[in-house]
Chain A
């Protein structure tokens, strides 16, 4: 039978399929951060259980970590401090590999894991974090789980899982110079809706996806979860192999050749059946900006902001009305008239080296608009160092941006970086929910290049005709 990549990975990880019960799926890699793991560790302790395979774990500290050097040295938030200390103690006790705040490898979990080649094609990987979908970029089945499940994986190296349906999202043709992986992601979510992928694992394919770099593929799979999908997947190819080769946890020597041969066998078979197929033309994808409080409330930057009357579906129409109210916007308004307070480039969606390169390209010789605060938060120290080697930090700083230390930062505003009520941001992160970046804060999602241009203009700009 012709199989999809998802089915191949699923079948190769099935440990047990009890009659009438939920299948047990083997987990190759577990990723951890300080917020969703403490209760799982406590559960292990209460039951006197050991982590079955400590080598399968990579941990970091990212959510509560401040982005200012001084603040990192002395944590003032006692709760953040406790979480950080607990994480360190747990990792020490169980012998886990932790990139703590002082480590040169520290950064956001979904940035540091690929940097070290920890997740490979064909693996099953999970983490108590929904954006684990990022690692699907390598052709690994990677998804977020709850705290009880984190403990379950620690103790058994398996998960009780129900099989998902499969969706193929095909983006044919070539992207324009100004459209990025982020724009593909937002355009797909705009098309299928935030619940469109519920119950599915999405495989992204087509020429425009093939042409993405690994960084771009990670951005795309990262956002699969915002389309409701359990995970995103992209078939491994030469781009994948080139990225992984030589990385710390990548196979070496003879193993490398065997691994590549195996990885090549994972791609979906010709004629494999998907439960749903969605097609987009890359040429049609313009730079995207969200206008509402859900990632599906997104438009081309040059389109007017829609209103309740633009939606025939009653629930969507009501959602539009309440989103406009919360966002302080009006139907028909142009995004290029909307004034911005804060610009954020960072997060596990767009905190990689390419993202800072793309932004710096547009920032060269320009200045941040008066009254606008612009914050660049590299996703990891490796990204930060690389950017500094290339002199990107200077471009940002000279343009009036703040160049900070790695963290999740304003993506979820748990570390002190946040919007004040009513403040409006242009952000390269992944969620524009009410209050996500601070109570009453208004978030617009977009690509790094669009964010850079917005910082200079103080409003959104169509970078296709911007000089």
Chain B
């Protein structure tokens, strides 16, 4: 995982509610044996025309102004449905590292942190204001400062990012759960030594 650095990036607008993980990454792409490379299938059924290759000009993320966006601003209850971890894999691989909504489905929410994405919860009024600012100025860039727990916009909106200390630290340092656990490798090794003495047959 990349350390999550303060960044100023294009915010793309997806004015839809209940975006489910089946839409984020449709099931025909789940049989891959890789975790990477799901970005090209992100929102596949919306993003491409029936031939599966031609970008759908009607789909919001295909707008030229939103190319290169790292921030996704979406409607209520983002990431509902199946628990597939392929959903955050696809979002991250496409290039987003921040998703803003009023609410997220539980499993999706925690899967985000495992994959270097901050899901930022805002109030409905804040979401409206952010969406309005994007509509008025497509391609506008927002600033996410995780260290200071702040999201700011050129229009003067300032929102506090609510995040627990452990998750914040992991994102800032780019530690995935594994890297975090490996920080305690000495404890794991010490445990193994003790375990080996108590239950030597486990190791034969």
Contacts and interface: CB of A to CB of B under 8 A. Distances in A.
A83 interface: yes
Contacts of B204: 251, 255
A83 B187 CA distance: 35
B181 to A, nearest CB: 4
A258 interface: yes
A21 B166 contact: yes
Contact of B114 (A21, A38, A148, A262): A148
A38 B34 contact: yes
A26 interface: yes
Interface of A: 15-16, 18, 20-21, 24, 26, 28, 38-39, 42-43, 46-47, 49, 52, 55, 79, 82-83, 86, 120, 122-123, 146-148, 151-152, 155-158, 160, 251-252, 255-256, 258-259, 262
Contact of A158 (B32, B36, B181): B181
A18 B166 CA distance: 10
Contact of A39 (B34, B111, B191, B203): B34
Contact of B85 (A21, A24, A79, A146): A146
Contacts of B83: 146
Contacts of B191: 15, 26
A42 B188 contact: no
B186 to A, nearest CB: 10
Nearest to A157: B188
Given A18-B166, A156-B178, A251-B201, 17 more contacts: A15-B184, A15-B187, A15-B188, A24-B187, A24-B188, A26-B188, A26-B192, A38-B33, A79-B31, A120-B202, A146-B83, A148-B111, A251-B204, A252-B201, A255-B201, A255-B204, A262-B198
Given A26-B188, A26-B191, A39-B34, A155 B166 contact: no
23 contacts: A15-B188, A20-B166, A24-B184, A24-B187, A26-B188, A39-B35, A42-B35, A47-B178, A52-B188, A55-B203, A79-B31, A123-B202, A146-B83, A146-B85, A148-B114, A148-B177, A151-B178, A152-B178, A152-B181, A156-B178, A256-B201, A258-B200, A259-B199
B135 interface: no
A83 B85 contact: no
Contacts of B195: 26
Of B32, B177, B192, B204, most buried by chain A (CB within 10 Å of CB) is B177
Given A156-B182, A259-B201, A262-B199, A86 B177 contact: no
A151 B35 CA distance: 12
B165 interface: yes
Nearest to B107: A146
Nearest to A22: B166
Interface in B6-38: 31-36
B201 A160 contact: no
Contact of A20 (B33, B165, B182): B165
Contacts of A21: 166
B177 A147 contact: no
A255 B34 contact: no
Q: Nearest 7 pairs between A and B by C-beta?
A: A38-B33, A251-B201, A39-B35, A255-B201, A156-B181, A86-B33, A15-B191
Of B31, B33, B184, B200, most buried by chain A (CB within 10 Å of CB) is B33
A42 to B, nearest CB: 5
A24 B190 CA distance: 13
Contacts of B36: 42, 46
B185 to A, nearest CB: 8
A43 B166 contact: no
Interface string B166-189: 100000000001100110110110
Contacts of B32: 38
A155 B178 contact: yes
A53 to B, nearest CB: 8
A83 B34 CA distance: 10
A100 B126 CA distance: 55
A433 to B, nearest CB: 13
A10 to B, nearest CB: 14
A65 to B, nearest CB: 15
A148 B85 CA distance: 8
Contacts of A256: 201
Contact of B177 (A15, A123, A160): A160
Contacts of B31: 79, 83
A152 B83 CA distance: 18
A20 B192 CA distance: 24
Interface string B124-167: 00000000000000000000000000000000000000000110
B188 A83 contact: no
A21 B114 CA distance: 15
Nearest to B180: A160
Nearest to A152: B178
Nearest to B111: A148
A42 B34 contact: yes
Interface string B31-48: 111111000000000000
Contact of A24 (B33, B111, B181, B192): B181
Contacts of B188: 15, 24, 26, 52, 156-158
A42 B38 CA distance: 14
A39 B33 contact: yes
A43 B31 CA distance: 16
Contacts of A122: 199
A252 B204 CA distance: 10
A42 B31 CA distance: 14
Contacts of A155: 178, 181-182
A363 B192 CA distance: 51
A28 B202 CA distance: 8
B176 to A, nearest CB: 8
Contacts of A15: 184, 187-188, 191
Contacts of A157: 188, 192
A397 to B, nearest CB: 35
A79 B31 CA distance: 7
B178 A49 contact: yes
A148 to B, nearest CB: 5
B187 A16 contact: yes
Nearest to B166: A21
